[in-house]
Amino acid sequence: MITREMPRVRRVCVLARGGAPAPWEPPSFPGRPGPSLTTCAAFLLLATGCALHVRHGLVAELRRSREIAGATQRVLLRPLPGRVDGLAVAAAQLSASRGAAVGGDLYEAVTTAYGVRVVIGDVRGHGLAALGAAAAVLGSFREAAHDEPDPAGVLRRMERSLERHLRERARAEPPSARPQGPRSPVAEEFVTVLLLQIAADGSVQALNCGHPWPYRLDPAPASVPTGPQGPPARTVRPLAGGETLPPLGVLPLPPDLRSVPCGKLGPGEALVLYTDGAEDARDRRGRFFPLRGVLAQAPAPTPARLVAGVHAALLRHTRGRLTDDVTLLVLRNDRGGRGGRP
CB atoms within 10 A of CB 5: 8
**What integer pLDDT is reported at residue 97 of this predicted model?**
65
Whether 265 and 288 have beta carbons less than 8 Å apart is answered as no
The reported pLDDT for the residue numbered 95 is: 77
- Distance CA(317)–CA(282), nearest Å, equals 7
Domain ranges in the chain are: 81-174+183-333
Give CA 217 to chain center in angstroms: 25
Distance in angstroms (rounded) separating the CA atoms of residues 94 and 101: 8
CATH number of 81-174+183-333: 3.60.40.10
Residues 6+ apart with CB under 8 A from 160: 140
Contact 251/191 with Cβ under 8 angstroms? no
Angle at 300 between CA 204 and CA 99, to 5 degrees: 90
Q: Cα dihedral angle (110, 115, 116, 121), rounded to 10 degrees?
A: -90
CA angle 209, 143, 256 (to 5 degrees): 40
pLDDT of 174 reads: 65
- Determine the pLDDT at residue 340: 41
**151-168 core/surface letters (b: 16 or more CB in 10 A; e: else):** bbebbbbbbebbeebbee
- pTM over 0.85? The answer is no
- The stretches in the chain having pLDDT less than 50 are 1-17, 67, 71, 180-182, 224, 227, 338-342
